[in-house]
Amino acid sequence: MGAQQKRTRDPEARRRALAEAALEVIAEVGIGRTTHRAVALRAELPLGTTTYYFPTLDDLIGAALQHAAEELRVELDGWAERLGGAGDVPAELTGLVQGYLGDRRRVQVEYELYVAAARDPRLRPLARGWLDGMSRMLEPYAGGAAGDVVALVDGVILQAMVTGSDLDGDRLTAVVRRLIADEA
């Protein structure tokens, strides 16, 4: 039949596919049970591909955290845009948090990776992206209380995830409103 065509390989696409697959595996089984083999299977790539691009499991989990951090940065940009046009910033922020909690699986993965950063100092700069990005986004509305609002939002999200309950939107809006008013 003639010469075989070589498949074009895109290293960045493979890295991205592996990071996305790692996020999916983490969502299903947690970080502690995530393996190179499970990620390769999910990505439909040979096992050797995962270890080629990410020699250690820590490297693979770090790539997943980096991928999640990039997605969060894009989402925070969208949040900033919506808050900029909002007449009622506390209510709009509550709506954004409720929307974020609409994808519980994604939230679970991101918070699991967030906790991994608490154990691994190399991952901390990536996890700080959420904290710093949220603070910067909220500073025009909350001033020095922006960090307090971020801590509140983090706590509310974590409690909703742990309890499996819905967010009390009225309560969150009221507390954010008080924090912002105290700063004014």
Give tens-digit pLDDT for 53-64: 999 998 998 888
**Has residue 1 been placed in a domain?**
no
- What is the Cα–Cα distance from 66 to 113, expressed in whole angstroms? 10
**Has residue 4 been placed in a domain?**
no
Is 64 within 8 Å of 21 (Cβ atoms)?
no
pLDDT at 8 over 90: no
**Has residue 3 been placed in a domain?**
no
- What is the Cα–Cα distance from 16 to 39, expressed in whole angstroms? 12
Q: How far is CA 109 from CA 19, 122, 134, 163, in A?
A: 12, 18, 18, 16
Instruction: Count structural domains, the chain.
Output: 1
- What is the Cα–Cα distance from 22 to 61, expressed in whole angstroms? 7
- Residue 159's domain is classified under what CATH number? 1.10.357.10
Q: Which domain holds residue 154?
A: 11-183
Is 40 within 8 Å of 49 (Cβ atoms)?
yes
10, amino acid identity: D
Mapping DSSP to helix (H, G, I), strand (E, B) and coil, where does residue 164 land?
Answer: coil
Buried-state track 7-38, b at ≥16 Cβ within 10 A, e below 16: eeeeeeebbebbbbbbbbbbbeeebeebebeb
Phi, psi of 84 (to 5 degrees): -60, -30
**Has residue 5 been placed in a domain?**
no
**Has residue 140 been placed in a domain?**
yes
**Has residue 151 been placed in a domain?**
yes
Question: Can you give the pTM of this predicted structure?
Answer: 0.80
**Has residue 139 been placed in a domain?**
yes
* pLDDT above 70 coverage of the chain, percent: 95
Write out pLDDT tens, residues 113-131: 778 778 878 778 877 877 8
**Has residue 86 been placed in a domain?**
yes
